[in-house]
Structure 1
Amino acid sequence: MTSSSTFAVTTSELPSGRVIIVTGGGSGIGRAAALGFAEQGAQVLITGRRAEPLDDTAAAHPNITPLVADAAGADDARRTISTAVERWGRIDALINNAGAGAILPLAEVTADRIRQIFAVNVVGPSLLAAAALPHLAASRGVIVNVSSTFGHKPGAGLSHYAASKAALEHLTRCWALEFAPSGIRVNAVAAGPTETDALTGMMGLSEAQAAAVKAEERAQIPLGRRGVPEDVAAWIVQLADPSATWVTGQVLAVDGGLGLV
């Protein structure tokens, strides 16, 4: 892209009030971010594959609207963007928070497991961003990608999850350059170990295994604790705020210092 005319859209008739899309908005960091935006007065569309957690989050604030959608699906990516535009007429921020991963030693990998991780962590954000581009250009909006400490810190048994997050971080930098002429900012938050259900859900550990991992992580994190969703969500909200209009292409580590050791 060489000029802002690529995604030129008239902004004079856009309604007031920000519109935010948060993928994986039914729980954890996505839920906390959605609530943070809603409390600021934004209209928030949250997506996920399960209706119940989405409905629970939507019930917590009248500005949150749920939509069952698979972040890795091309049709659902287009449907997510069109739903926001048809309902509110604009998009100001896309928060690519939905994630997939596994503790997956190389000896145990299968092609399907690798594809599933990259579909959610790399393909999905790409499809959503592409579909949102003209609307983000109209609002001079922002994309915030949610990465991980392990996008830049190696971890045994995490190679494909880590590689997918490293890819997402580099997409962030490349998109920041590509979309800057259209006034679209792109940043990422690299979240450290956070008190969500990711270990027993996404990573597939038993409760006992998850407890052991949590204890090990607490011992490694310089600030002495695992994060809570609000620790990370606060920075997602801040990077999407209009006050951050001169910040783009950055990957902000919010991990209690874990990336330093």
Structure 2
Amino acid sequence: MSVKSPGDLAERVVVVTGAGSGIGRAAARAFADAGARVLGVGRRIDALEETAAGYPAIALHSADLSDPEAPEHVVDAAIDRWGQLDVLVNNAGVAKLMPLAGTTTSGITALFDLNVVAPSLLARAALPHLCRSRGTIVNVSSTFGHRPLPGGAHYAASKAALEQLTRSWAVELAADGIRVNALAPGPTESQALAAAGLPETVIEQIKREDVARIPLGRRGDPDEVATWLLRLADPATTWLTGQILTIDGGLELT
């Protein structure tokens, strides 16, 4: 069997959700640098435009993925533009601290709609095209998908669900030649904490506590996380499926 090179990402069509900031922005740019054609998906068109600035290979699609019809529209946008789909990166998600005493139906629903339902519907919409290309799905989980998060149990549970979807889809879709893996980053510099509505003082406290717990002594950088998304999506990674790769500076070991 011939070994494929990373250059095989050239001309591949990649959908990256949550592309307006953080890991999603870094991933969209990294895939474009590798020669792929990228559909960057996010809610805010101005943020997406910042992602695509200077990257002509990145096309944009604004969507609220909590809308059940949005996944079909995302996949249609990629197919209408390029006629194929090779890689789906399910990166969009929401982080929310929600202690049990403050748990609400709407809070749980919002977390699972974006973190579990949306990637499921995107994968379903992409499936016929991934079957044709023998493509790959990469889900973005979290180190808290498999370690406790006191005060954020439902966020952790939503990521645990995504990891179990990854394993199950990997077995289900293997006969179609589709690989399914997940990347589980630890605390990474992004706008996620601010987007969760936390005040700046609380954000700074959380960051200090993260650094104190992480054996390598720092939070992650979106670019280094994106590097591993490319590796999981690379067609040269021919025999890896159903795996959850944790990149968290050793946090899960503590």
Which residue, out of 242, 246, 250, partners 2:243? Answer: 250
- Name the structure 2 match of 1:192: 186
User: How many Å separate the matches in 2 of 1:189 and 1:73?
Assistant: 25
What are the equivalent positions in structure 2 for 1:83-122 lying under 5 Å apart? 83-122=77-116
Partner of 1:178: 172
Aligned pairs for 1:27-46 within 5 A: 27-46=21-40
Which residue does 2:199 correspond to in 1? Answer: 206
2:12 is matched with 18
TM superposition score normalised by structure 1 = 0.92
1:76 equivalent in alignment to 2:70: yes
Once the two structures are superposed, the pairs formed by residues 2-13 of structure 1 within 5 Å of their partners are none
Task: Structure 2: give runs of 5+ residues left out of the alignment.
Answer: 1-9
SS where residue 253 of structure 1 aligns? strand
Q: CA deviation at 1:245?
A: 1.3
Are residues 1:49 and 2:43 paired? yes
CA apart distance, 1:74: 2.1
Deviations 1:67-121 (A, max 9, x none): 1012222211000001101110100000000011211101111101100000000
Contact 2:186–2:251 at 8 Å: present in 1 too?
yes
**Contact preservation (8 Å) 2:16, 2:41:** yes
Unaligned segments of structure 1, at least 5 residues:
1-15
Equivalent of residue 224 in structure 1, options 202, 217, 229: 217
The equivalent position to 1:240 in structure 2, one of 225, 233, 241, is 233
Shift of 1:139: 0.6
On the 8 A contact 1:144/1:240 being kept in 2, the answer is yes
CA distance in 2, matches of 1:257, 1:73: 36
Q: Residue by residue, what CA displacement relative to the aligned partner does 1:234-257 show, whole Å, maximum 9, x if unpaired?
A: 100110001111100000001001
What is the TM-score of this pair, normalised by structure 2?
0.95
Separation in structure 2 between the aligned mates of residue 130 and residue 85 of structure 1, nearest angstrom: 14
Cα deviations by residue, 1:169-217 (Å, 9 ceiling, x for unpaired) = 000000000000000000000010001011111x221111100100000
Q: The residue matched to 1:165 in structure 2 has which SS?
A: helix
Per-residue deviation, residues 214-237 of structure 1 (Å, max 9, x unmatched): 000000001110001012111001
CA distance in 2 between counterparts of 1:231 and 1:77 reads: 27
The CA distance in 2 between the partners of 1:215 and 1:35, in whole Å, is 29
Instruction: Indicate whether 1:142 and 2:136 are aligned.
Output: yes
Contact 1:149–1:191, Cα closer than 8 Å, also in 2: yes
CA-based RMSD: 0.9
After the TM superposition, which segments of 4 or more aligned residues of structure 1 sit over 4 Å from their partners?
none
Structure 1 CA distance for aligned equivalents of residues 120 and 54 of structure 2: 29
| Distance in 1 of aligned mates of 2:92 and 2:33 | 21
Q: Report the secondary structure of 1:187's partner residue.
A: strand
**Counterparts of 2:25 and 2:235, CA distance in 1:** 21
Name the aligned partner's letter for residue 191 of structure 1: P
Q: Secondary structure at the match of 1:205?
A: coil
Tell me, yes or no, if the aligned pair for 1:231 and 1:254 is still in contact at 8 Å.
no
Which residue pairs with 1:12 in the alignment?
none
The 5 A counterparts of 1:144-163 are: 144-163=138-157
Provide the rounded CA distance (Å) in 2 between the counterparts of 1:66 and 1:132: 17
